[in-house]
Amino acid sequence: MKFIEFLTESKEGKNVHLEHLEDNVLNAGVSGARDAINFLRSLRDMLAGHTGTKMNVTTKWDGAPAIFAGVNPENGKFFVGTKSVFAKNAKLNYTDDDIDANHPGSGLNEKLKLALAFLPKLGIKGVLQGDMMFSKGDIEHETIDGEDYIIFQPNTIVYAVPTKSKLAQAMLAAQIGVVFHTSYSGKTLETMKASFNIDISHLKQTKDVWFRDASFTDASGSATFTEQETAQITSILAQAGRLFNTIPALTLNRIAASETYLTQIKTYNNTKVREGQAIRDTRAHVAGLISWVEAKMNKEVLAAKKADTKQKRIKEKNEVIRFYRSNASQLKAIFDLMNMIVEAKLMVVRKLETIRSIGTFVRTDDGFRITAPEGFVAVDHVGKALKLVDRLEFSHKNFTAQKAWDK
């Protein structure tokens, strides 16, 4: 199976931003829609117990900040950094002074200094990317439903580990905790390629750093579909396949090739995600998209100072609105297809969520509420990756949950 740019930075081979599975219908047109359906078929086969499917699933931890650490192949020096390590003017931190210059203030500055002090002890070869889960001062003690836990909250989700467990003792002894999910190799930072099938077995053990990879492990063997569930997801994917075959390739590929259409549709869809609204009435969603785009572009026309700029924007608006209106039925079919992909994806996510090694909660005014992990990342046999996330649940939580700094 070949996958087309599930990573928005895949041309450089960097794991800077993972795309949602259903968005690949928009991002890559015909090939993206076909690949998304095939990807779900592979996940279905994996969860149905068909051993011929080569698919690696990792847990998407809700950590912060993102940490890059390793040896710069161009000078042999150990560095730490954030996602800016792959920017044109890369911010590489070899010393505390570099961190003060590149990341002044507290918060990120302090986390990077801890990373620089303790991650060299692991003997990292190449470069690793991960999420910082905690530093020593972040861990608290809490009683939840009568049980004693240590808790830490790097971002939205609160992670809880029973206080008396070996895992909690290892975390309490550590200065920092990191979950690694991507490795990089290459002769220069610019040419480094990402690998999601990460192997951290060679890293040295030290009590100062609690670390693990993001591999999903089903210790109980219960994360498998029943016959009924397998039949249900197979039916959804069959419907998706039939609908996909009715959508003109020209329309799908034109959206994927147009920065204007792609940005407008994804931005409008994301306003619904942010509000926690599922797109159920796709006909109304198309009408809403057209009204939203027209209002937005009318503002841009009014903002134009010069007459020729105004005319240019009016012409562009008319072309865009004409495209949406003339393809309204096809846009409805595209949103219906995306909904079917989401429905099948959520069946996979819910099954994977049944296995937990660490408790996950969200902080509310009334205490703590059990929640699912942020999601999962699926990697195919050629190393391409994509997000399997319940966007409505996690995005809504991300905007409404109390953060650690709000306590």
**Residue 100 predicted with pLDDT over 60:** yes
**Phi, psi dihedral angles at 102 (to 5 degrees):** -85, -30
Check residues 192 and 387 and name the one with the higher pLDDT. 192
**Phi, psi dihedral angles at 156 (to 5 degrees):** -90, -45
**Residue 369 predicted with pLDDT over 70:** no
Inter-residue contact 128 to 68 (CB < 8 Å): yes
Predicted local distance difference test score (pLDDT) of residue 382: 47
Q: Mean pLDDT over residues 203-228, rounded?
A: 80
How many Cβ atoms sit within 10 Å of the Cβ of residue 96? 13
Q: Mean pLDDT over residues 83-98, rounded?
A: 89
Dihedral sign from CA coordinates of 287, 290, 295, 298: negative
| Angstrom distance (rounded) from CA 45 to CA 35 | 15
| Angstrom distance (rounded) from CA 185 to CA 199 | 13
| Angstrom distance (rounded) from CA 337 to CA 307 | 42
Predicted local distance difference test score (pLDDT) of residue 10: 34
Interval 266-314: pLDDT, tens:
999 999 988 888 999 999 999 999 999 999 999 999 999 999 999 999 9
Interval 16-50: pLDDT, tens:
456 788 999 999 999 999 989 988 998 888 788 65
**Residue 359 predicted with pLDDT over 90:** no
CA atoms within 13 A on the CB side of 129: 22
**Residue 7 predicted with pLDDT over 50:** no
Closest CA to 183 of 132, 125, 133: 125
Predicted local distance difference test score (pLDDT) of residue 15: 45
Report the predicted TM-score, pTM, of the whole model to 2 decimal places.
0.63
Q: Rounded to the nearest 5 degrees, what angle is found at the Cα of 357, between the Cα atoms of 46 and 226?
A: 35
Domain parsing of the chain, residue ranges:
62-213
Q: Mean pLDDT over residues 113-126, rounded?
A: 97
